[in-house]
A and B are shown apart, each in its own frame.
Chain A
Amino acid sequence: MTDFRLPLGSYVESFVDYITATFGFVFDFIKYIFDGAYEAVDFVLSAPPFWAIMIVLALLALGLRGWKFAVGTIAGLVVILGVDQWANAMDTLALVLVASVIAIAISLPLGILAAKFDIASNIIRPILDFMQTMPAFVYLIPALILFRVGVVPGIVATIIFAMAPGVRLTELGIRSVDKEVVEAGQAFGASPMRILRQIQLPLATPTIMAGVNQVIMLSLSMVVIAGMVGAGGLGQQVVTSLNRIDIKLGFEAGLAVVILAIFLDRITASLGDTHSTGMFGTIRLVLRAKTKPDISAAEVPGSASTAAPAEPARV
């Protein structure tokens, strides 16, 4: 062919070298924070006996979705325990939680920004495209250089990979809130912050929660790749089994990932569902029914509960 060669790779390499040399302290700081967060969450999950964690997760399942899911959760966790992957599963769960929380914490404000300003949207969208389609292994290289081997490069690569749907779905959710309802807020003199808080975010919640769900699922799918850079957990097990051609270990670790994935997916999916069948939803309804009439009945006699069946035929 010809001598034509775009030295893009070299540019990026020198750029990474430059920031490593110049902003090393920043990355050390980030590493310190992420490491600390991971260690803390991992401690909470790993220190108590397995049955305590099981009970907590089963209660969460019961509260958000109902007793069937709680039973399923316990069954799944017993399988993980049975294949001797409990400790690894908790490490992975900690990694996913930390990475997801950070990814969500970054993607929600970005999504709001993109929804509010067209310029922000136009800038953010191609960056997201880039982040989402660039093979995830590619992030690992600079992440390794910047953060060295361990959990942190895994977390960083996971965050970058998993962030995009959070931003996209937040933007979509806010933009697709009924225009008239937003106008209603404006027409009654609500400030933009108030409209965001009281109208746009609540009405966009189902879509935003779908985004959160996607972030968590993508984070989980990154654990194996994170395992390659020494993040430990189930990813580490899968990488090890791949190196040893160990079908038994590979299947057991993989199954544990699947069980975690199903649990996290169902839990987060039910967060976006306002008509939750779980116990928390029921409790919320009961609380709502209990608090409201107290206020209105105190002020206006004969309202609320006493007049409840009155004139349904009026309209």
Chain B
Amino acid sequence: MTESTTDTIAVKADHLYKAFGRRPHEIVKKLKAGKSRAEISSLGVAAVIDASFEVKKGEIFVVMGLSGSGKSTLIRMLNGLWDTTSGIVTVGDTDITGVSAKELRDVRRKSISMVFQHFALLPHRTVIDNVAYGLEIQGMNRVDRLAKAQTIIDLVGLAGWADNLPSELSGGMQQRVGLGRALAADTDVLLMDEAFSALDPLIRREMQEQLIELQAALGKTIIFITHDLNEAMFLGDRIAVMRDGRIVQIGTPEEILTDPANDYVAQFVQDVDRARVLTAASVMEPVRSVITKTAGPRAALRTMRDLQTSVTFVLNRDRSFAGIVRDRDVLKLVKSGETDLRGIIRDDATAVLPETALVDLVEPSVESELPIAVVDDKNRLLGVIPRVTLLAAIGNVSTNTGALPVVMPPSTISISQITDILAETADDTPSDAEGARA
């Protein structure tokens, strides 16, 4: 979620239906009575069936679906380009269903603007006049609107192109004009209809990144339509997946990916670049092999023996992450009768924040046999990600079946040896056990 997201509702869709045919209301009645889309196909086409959602202010809400899933129809109902057959659309505090054409135009001028798939620029106007178009309709005078348009042109990275015609620009630049036109209108809500789908992949990625930057800077509410799941995952704070006119799931990208509502969504998301969407927090495992710094070497050794590992994580008193200790070092310490772990704590383990994408964990995971530690912003250890977990998450394989996964590197010293050492030195530090298994 973006920080600017609040709980204020910017756009609300309440049981929206849109049917095309001779008698659309009859189609909707039948759909409400439980008929399927196929059953009413003789009467006409049900483009959108019972779509309900709320978009919070400052949120990027992505509607994703294949062509024919009704997403373009849905977005056009949100600004009243198409009437709803049934249901209510609310923009801000205004219910735009059934209002007069004049009131609707007013809402469009002030509250909701749109970016189009094929840019839809006015070809006979220069870039600056295109960007200023919304302001012109709002009734702003020429000097003011051109000044404002110029700042927007600079903002979207088109400085120096203000006086060119759209036909003189490349596709990516034309869409910047389209985006600039929507931004200049200074509405709270931006509708983006497959806005980047006509661009080639490199430019598309650049535009996506720029959109996120702009959104963070300007705090607009964005409703983004796309058929590209990776785009949806990259942009969306929340995603609504549409199929055959119905919204089949609404959730954060991770929810969609890790907990698909049905086989369709599951099938759909199987090709997504999981490494870019899933975060450390969503795949990390609980830490078993962990001791506090003050617990002493005997406790550390016992923990490692019990879990048959060669490494254990060490926490400070305030439960923040201190580092790791290895069994050989601890063994030496125990043999020599020392009680302070501090001297042998190593910081080889990589610590990452929970929101780190898996793709950024691959390199540290390759470089070290140790699991990656996941810590929060106060450096508290939240969990660990062993290699096997990372691989399983990226490959979409469940780790919950079969034997326990190998979480930690296996012991390098035999258990009997450890037990013997512990027994030999038992009387030195009788109170050691209490620090184990924190």
CA distance A288 to B125 in the complex (A): 11
Q: Is A183 interfacial (CB 8 A cutoff)?
A: yes
A181-B170 contact given A300-B150, A303-B162, CB 8 Å threshold = no
B120, A180: Cβ atoms closer than 8 Å:
yes
Q: Which of A187, A189, A194, A310 contacts B160 (CB 8 A)?
A: A310
Please indicate the chain A residues that have their CB under 8 angstroms from the CB of B137 in the complex.
Answer: 188-190, 194
Which of A77-85, A210-218, A237-245, A289-297 interfaces with chain B?
A289-297
The one of A183, A184, A202 in contact with B124, judged by C-beta atoms closer than 8 angstroms, is A202
Known: A199-B122, A289-B163, A299-B150. A183 touches B173 (CB 8 A): no
List residues 275-311 of chain A with CB under 8 A from any CB of chain B.
Answer: 288-289, 292-293, 295-296, 299-300, 303-304, 307-311
Contact with B159, one of A183, A191, A310 (Cβ below 8 angstroms): A310
Q: Taking the complex as formed, is A315 at the interface, i.e. its CB lies under 8 A from any CB of chain B?
A: yes
Contact B128 A315 (CB under 8 A): no
Whole-angstrom distance between the alpha carbons of A188 and B117 in the complex? 16
Q: Is the interface of A mostly helix, strand, loop or mixed?
A: helix
Q: Could you tell me which A residues sit within 8 Å of B by CB distance? A: 178, 180-181, 183-184, 186-191, 194, 198-199, 202-203, 274, 288-289, 292-293, 295-296, 299-300, 303-304, 307-311, 314-315
Q: How far is the CA of A300 from the CA of B154 in the complex (A)?
A: 10
Asked whether A191 lies within 8 Å of B120 as measured between CB atoms, the reply is: no
Instruction: Tell me if B277 counts as interface (CB < 8 A to partner A).
Output: no
Is there an interface contact between B143 and A188, defined as CB atoms closer than 8 Å? no
**Min CB distance, B258 to chain A, in Å?**
36
Q: Pick the contact of B157 from A299, A309, A311 — CB < 8 Å?
A: A311
Q: Flag if B176 contacts A315 (CB, 8 Å).
A: yes
B79 at the interface (CB under 8 A from A): yes
Q: Pick the contact of A191: B105, B123, B134, B142 (CB < 8 A).
A: B105
Contact B109 A188 (CB under 8 A): yes
B-side contacts of A194, CB under 8 Å: 137
We find that the number of chain B residues with CB closer than 8 angstroms to chain A is 51
Set of chain B residues within 8 Å of A183, measured between Cβ atoms:
76, 81, 114, 116, 120
Interface residues of B in 130-166 (CB under 8 A from A): 133-134, 137-138, 142-143, 146-147, 150-151, 153-154, 157, 159-160, 162-163
Given contacts A180-B116, A183-B120, A184-B116, contact A315 B170 (CB under 8 A): yes
Least Cβ distance of A290 to chain B in Å? 11
Across the interface, do A296 and B128 meet the contact criterion of CB distance under 8 Å? yes
Shortest beta-carbon distance from B78 to chain A in Å = 10
Other-chain contact of A299, B147, B159, B163, B172 (Cβ < 8 Å): B147
Interfacial chain A residues near B163, Cβ < 8 Å? 288-289, 292-293, 296, 304
Instruction: Indicate which residue in B79, B142, B157 contacts A187 across the interface (CB closer than 8 Å).
Output: B79
* From A184, A292, A300, A308, contact of B147 by CB (8 A): A300
Q: Is B121 an interface residue (CB 8 A)?
A: yes
| B108 in the interface (beta carbon within 8 A) | yes
Q: Is B126 part of the binding interface, using a Cβ–Cβ cutoff of 8 Å?
A: yes
Does B259 have its Cβ within 8 Å of any Cβ on chain A? no
Q: Which residue of B lies closest to A190 (CB)?
A: B137
Residues of B within 8 A of A308 (CB): 160
Shortest CB distance B159–A (Å): 5
B160 close to A295 (CB less than 8 A): no
B116 with A186: CB separation less than 8 A: no
Q: With A183-B120, A308-B160, A314-B157 in contact, do A292 and B128 touch (Cβ < 8 Å)?
A: yes
Smallest Cβ distance from B202 to chain A, in angstroms? 10
In the complex with contacts A181-B121, A198-B122, A203-B124, A190-B176 CB distance below 8 A: no
Q: Once the chains are docked, how many angstroms separate the CA of A181 from the CA of B153?
A: 20
Q: Report 19 cross-chain contacts, Cβ distance below 8 Å, ordered by A residue.
A: A180-B116, A180-B118, A187-B108, A187-B191, A188-B109, A188-B114, A188-B181, A189-B107, A189-B108, A189-B110, A194-B137, A203-B123, A292-B128, A296-B146, A299-B146, A311-B159, A315-B169, A315-B170, A315-B203
Report chain A residues within 8 Å CB of B154. Answer: 300, 303
The distance in angstroms between the C-alpha atoms of A178 and B117, with both chains bound, is 12
New A-B contacts (16) at CB < 8 Å, excluding given A178-B118, A202-B124:
A180-B118, A183-B120, A184-B116, A184-B122, A187-B81, A187-B113, A188-B113, A194-B137, A199-B122, A203-B124, A289-B163, A300-B147, A303-B159, A303-B162, A308-B160, A309-B160
CB of B103 to closest CB in A, whole Å: 10
Q: What's the least CB distance linking A273 to chain B, in Å?
A: 13
Q: How far is the CA of A293 from the CA of B157 in the complex (A)?
A: 18
- Report the separation of the CA atoms of residues A310 and B157 in the bound assembly, to the nearest whole angstrom: 10
A78 to B345, CA, bound (A): 106
When distances are taken between beta carbons in the complex, the residues of chain B under 8 Å from A299 are 143, 146-147, 150
Contact partner, B114, options A187, A202, A309, Cβ 8 Å: A187
- For residue A310, which residues in chain B have a CB less than 8 angstroms away from its CB? 159-160
Contacts of B151 in A (CB 8 A): 300
Alpha-carbon distance between A82 and B124 when the two chains are bound, in angstroms: 44
A180:B117 contact, CB within 8 angstroms: yes
Interface core residue of B105, B170, B181 (most chain A CB under 10 Å): B105
Whether A274 and B105, one on each chain, are in contact in the complex, defined by CB atoms closer than 8 angstroms, is no
Complex: how many Å from CA A188 to CA B124? 17
Judged by a CB distance under 8 angstroms, whether B340 is at the interface is no
B128 to chain A, nearest CB (A): 6
In the complex, what distance in Å separates the CA atom of A199 from the CA atom of B133? 11
Cα of A183 to Cα of B153 in the assembled complex, Å: 22
Q: How many angstroms between the C-alpha atoms of A187 and B185 in the bound complex? A: 11
- Collect the chain A residues with CB atoms within 8 Å of residue B176's CB: 315
Flag whether B106 is at the interface (Cβ < 8 A).
yes
A178, B160: Cβ atoms closer than 8 Å:
no
In the complex, which residue of chain A has the Cβ closest to the Cβ of B112? A187
* B120 in contact with A184 (CB, 8 Å): yes
Question: In whole angstroms, what is the CA distance A288 to B181 when docked?
Answer: 21
Q: Report whether B114 and A184 are in contact in the complex, using a CB–CB cutoff of 8 Å.
A: yes
Q: How far is the CA of A4 from the CA of B146 in the complex (A)?
A: 74
Contact B124 A274 (CB under 8 A): yes
| A305 and chain B: residue at smallest CB distance | B163
A178-B166 Cα distance, complex, nearest whole Å:
15
Given contacts A188-B133, A191-B105, A310-B159, contact A315 B172 (CB under 8 A): yes
Asked if B162 and A186 sit within 8 Å, CB to CB, the answer is no
CB distance from B86 to the nearest CB of A (A): 22
Taking the closest CB of chain A, its distance from the CB of B420, in whole angstroms, is: 69
Q: Which of B79, B110, B124, B163 has the most CB of A within 10 A?
A: B163
The answer on a CB contact under 8 Å between B143 and A292 is no
Give min CB distance, A274 to chain B, whole Å.
7
Identify the closest chain B residue to A274 (Cβ).
B124
Contacts of B133 in A (CB 8 A): 184, 188
